[in-house]
Structure formats: C-alpha cells, structure tokens
Amino acid sequence: MGSAVTAPGKRDSAFPNFRTRTWNYAARRTLAILPVVLAALTVAFAVIHLVPGDPVQMMLSIGGSVPSPGQEQALRHQLGLDQPLAQQYLSYLWHAVRGDFGRSIVTGEPVSQVIGAAIPASAALAGAGFGIAVVLGFAAALLTTRLRPGPARTVFDALPVFAMSMPGYWVAILLIQVFSFDLGLFPATGGNGAAGLVLPAITVALPPAGVIAQVLANALEAARLEPYVFTAQAKGASPWRVLVRHALRNAVVPTVTLLGTTVGNLLAASVVAETVFARQGLGRLTVTAITDHDFPVLQGIVVLLGVVYVLVNLVVDLLHLWVDPRVTMARRGER
C-alpha cells in the first residue's frame, strides 16, 4: 500500500503541482474510510438487537442444556444487554475500537482469538484464489482477443459465462470427484499445506476469473480501435506485441476497478468452498456462528468484513491513481 501511494509521486515528480494534488487526494480518500468503518461497527451492533426473539435465550439454548435464570442474567450482563441502549452502544464502540468483541458463546474464547485463528487459512485461500483468477482471466481475455471470429472464438467467448454460471458447490464437488477421487492428484480436505489449497482455490477463483476475462476482453476490443494501436501496427509490431505492450496497458484500467468485487466474490465463494473441502476459515466460521447463534462472533466477522472492504477499495482507488493519474484531475473537475 505504501508503495502505491509513493509511486505516482515518483513518476510525476516533474510536475510538483500535480504531485501535491495526488497526495491530497490520497489523504482525503484515506480519511473517507472512517465513516464506513463506523457504519460497519453500527450494523454489527444492530445485529443482536434486530434478532426476533430473545438473543440471550437463543444463545443459551445452543449448549444443549436448560439455562437457569441465573445463567441468563449472567449472560445478559456479560453482553451488556441490561444497560440503556446508548450506553451499550458507546461501551461497545469503546471495546470494538480496541478489537474487543467479547467472548464466543460456544467456545468461550475471545472473539478476536476465534476470528484471528481463522484468518490465515482464509487469507491463504483468498490469496491463491486471487492469483488464479487473475492468471485465468487475463489468459482467457488475451486468447479470446487474438482469435478470429469462428467456432473457437465462440467457445472462448462462452467460457467466462460458464465460469460465472456454475454454483460454487458443484465446482467443488466436480473437482473433488475428478482430481481427488479419480486421479488422486490433490487431497479433498484442507490443512495439507499447498497441495490441499489447490482445489479450493480453483473453486473460489472461477467466478471472478470469468468477470475479469469478460471485462478485460471488452476493454481490449475497445483499445484496439485506438489510434496508437494503429500506429504500432503500422510500425510493424507483431500482433502479440501490439496486444500486450499497447492495448493491454490501457485496457487494464477498468480491470483494476474489479479488484474490489473480486475480493468480495472470493470471500463469498470461500463460504461454500470451506464447507465442502472441510477447511478452517472465516467462511465456515460464519456458517457455524449463524447456526449456533453465536452473535459476538458474528459481530466480529461483520466488522472484519467491513474493514477488509474499505481497505480493498482504498487500494483500488490508489492503484487507479497509479495506473491512470488523470483520476485526480477528473474527480476534481467533477466537484
């Protein structure tokens, strides 16, 4: 992230005025994440109050025993539900800002610890998935653009659509059947290091790969009509060189915008993938927290997702600045 901020400065150091504006924009953009984080915190706070019925009763019933009135009161107190709403909210914010969301109702561990334990596995899955999605998406788009209209082109045009139309659970099941059971290439269950990561990562990568391929192919198609592409062609550059060196550089801009949705889609897909592949992670944690009515853990997850969301979008905006410095000027003109 740091490099993304400094890079434009370096590139445009010849234009000091431009550089200050860029810095201003970056700073403003960074500050703008605060209201969104506050909103996420508030939504998470609201969760426990929106539940129809008594959340305390629901949470206690999960342990499989009949709660005594004393237990009920203790939990109500522990969750602060016996205080006035405003006071609850402030005390919640005060604790949440310091990463304290209380304890899981089911395991009794601090929420930060429960979620913290799930983050590395999820990050590995999302990271691997992201890499695969980008590689597949770019490869498909470049190949499609190079193909002349015909049957092969039709097939390649349809591939991203198929990738986006497959329910994640079916992709996971098919991968397991073929690569784990029939070929025995990769394990069907998680926690086996890199080998165990392959199939779940492909599962989560397919839909975003489809999106990237489509958007990039369209942008490449448009870029080919630009004058500089003609110039390059006229100079006798090979078609691949024109495509990669000239068209791709410009077409990549709209793809950067997709980064935000891609990360979101990866996280969503990991809910299903982690369940089918029996992997530890945030997705599976979410599902169990829902079935167990483990509201403190859910609150923590909501806030974490909110924070991930704003960070990713911040990175997207700053990346934009880097790949396309006109952004600041355009945005300024808008206001």
Partner 1 sequence: MTLPRRPGLLLAVLTVLALAVCVLMPDVVAPHPPDAIDPAAILRPPGAGHLFGTDQLGRDLFSRVVHSARAALLVAVGAIALSLAGGAVVGLASGFAGGWLDGLFMRAADVLLTFPPLLLALGVVAVLGSSATNVAVAVGFANLAPFARLVRAQVLHLRGRPYVHAATLSGVSPPAILFRHIVPNAAEPVVVVALVSLGAAMLASSSLSFLGFGPRPPATDWGTLAAAGRDYLGSAWWLTTFPSLAVVVTVLAATTFARALRKGRS
Partner 2 sequence: MNRLRQGKAGLALVVSALLAAGCSAAGGAGAVPADAPPKPGGTLTFATDADPGCLDPQQSATAASQLISRGVVDSLVAQDPRTLEIKPWLAQSWEVSPDATTFTFHLRDGVTFSDGTPFDAAAVKANLDRIVDPATKSLLAASLLTGYAGTTVPDVRTVIVRFSAPNAPFLQAASTAFLGMESPASFAPGPQALCQKVIGSGPFVLGAVVPQQSIELDRRAGYAWAPPTAGHQGAVYLDKVAIKIVPENGVRLGSLRSGEFDAVANVPPRDAGSLTGDFQVLSKQQPGLAYSLLLNTGRGVLTDPVVRQAIAKSINTEQIVSTLYEDRYPRAKSILTPTTPGYADVLDAGQFDPGAAERALDQAGWVIGADGTRSKNGTRLSVEWTYSSPAREQRDVLAQLVQQQLKAVGIEVRLNPLPAGETISRQLSGNVELSDMSFVRADGDVLRSAFYAPQGGKPAFTDPQLARELTDATSTTDPARRASDYAQAQRLAVDAAIVIPIYDPTYLLGVSGAARGIAFDPQGLPEFYDAWVAR
- Rg (alpha carbons) of the chain, rounded to whole number: 24
207 binds partner 2 (CB under 8 A): no
Residue 327 binding result from partner 1, partner 2, none, given CB thresholds of 5 to 8 Å by partner type: none
315 binds partner 1 (CB under 8 A): no
Amino acid letter for position 81: L
Please give the residues from 48 up to 67 whose contact with partner 1 meets the rule CB under 8 A: 50-52
The gap from C-alpha 167 to its chain's centroid, in whole angstroms, comes to 18
174 binds partner 2 (CB under 8 A): no
Contact 52, 317 (CB under 8 A): no
Amino acid letter for position 194: A
Residue 189 binding result from partner 1, partner 2, none, given CB thresholds of 5 to 8 Å by partner type: partner 2
- Residue from 146, 153, 137, 147 nearest 214 by CA: 137
User: Structure tokens of 208?
Assistant: 């975003």
202 binds partner 1 (CB under 8 A): no
CB of 294 to partner 1, least distance (A): 10
Is residue 103 helix, strand or coil?
Answer: strand
74 binds partner 1 (CB under 8 A): no
CB of 158 to partner 1, least distance (A): 8
Comparison of 160 and 196: residue with beta carbon closer to partner 1: 160
* Count of residues that interact with partner 2, criterion CB under 8 A: 36
Separation CA 160–CA 165 (nearest Å): 9
102 binds partner 2 (CB under 8 A): no
CB of 146 to partner 1, least distance (A): 21
Contact 270, 282 (CB under 8 A): yes
Separation CA 295–CA 283 (nearest Å): 15
36 binds partner 2 (CB under 8 A): no
250 binds partner 2 (CB under 8 A): no
Q: What are phi and psi of 220, to 5 degrees?
A: -65, -45
* Count of residues that interact with partner 1, criterion CB under 8 A: 41
Q: Using CB under 8 A, which of 14, 31, 66, 86 touches partner 2?
A: 66
161 binds partner 1 (CB under 8 A): yes
Degrees to nearest 5, angle at CA 105 with 103 and 108: 55
- Residue from 42, 39, 48 nearest 79 by CA: 48
Separation CA 235–CA 232 (nearest Å): 5
Please give the residues from 16 up to 45 whose contact with partner 1 meets the rule CB under 8 A: 36, 39
Q: Using CB under 8 A, which of 298, 303, 318, 327 touches partner 1?
A: 298
62 binds partner 2 (CB under 8 A): yes
Rounded to whole angstroms, what are the CA distances from 162 to 43, 62, 208, 209, 214? 35, 41, 12, 11, 11
- Residue from 227, 221, 220 nearest 249 by CA: 220
Separation CA 137–CA 217 (nearest Å): 9
CB of 278 to partner 1, least distance (A): 12
288 binds partner 1 (CB under 8 A): no
User: Structure tokens of 207?
Assistant: 């839909």
Stretch that binds partner 1, among 3-11, 73-81, 129-137, 163-171 (CB under 8 A): 163-171
Which residues here bind partner 2, judged by CB under 8 A? Answer: 60-68, 106-109, 114, 117, 121, 176-177, 180-181, 184, 187-191, 276-280, 284-285, 288, 291-292
Which residues here bind partner 1, judged by CB under 8 A? Answer: 36, 39, 47, 50-52, 158, 161-162, 164-170, 173, 176-177, 181, 260-261, 264-265, 267-269, 271-272, 275-276, 286-287, 289-291, 298, 302, 305, 309, 313
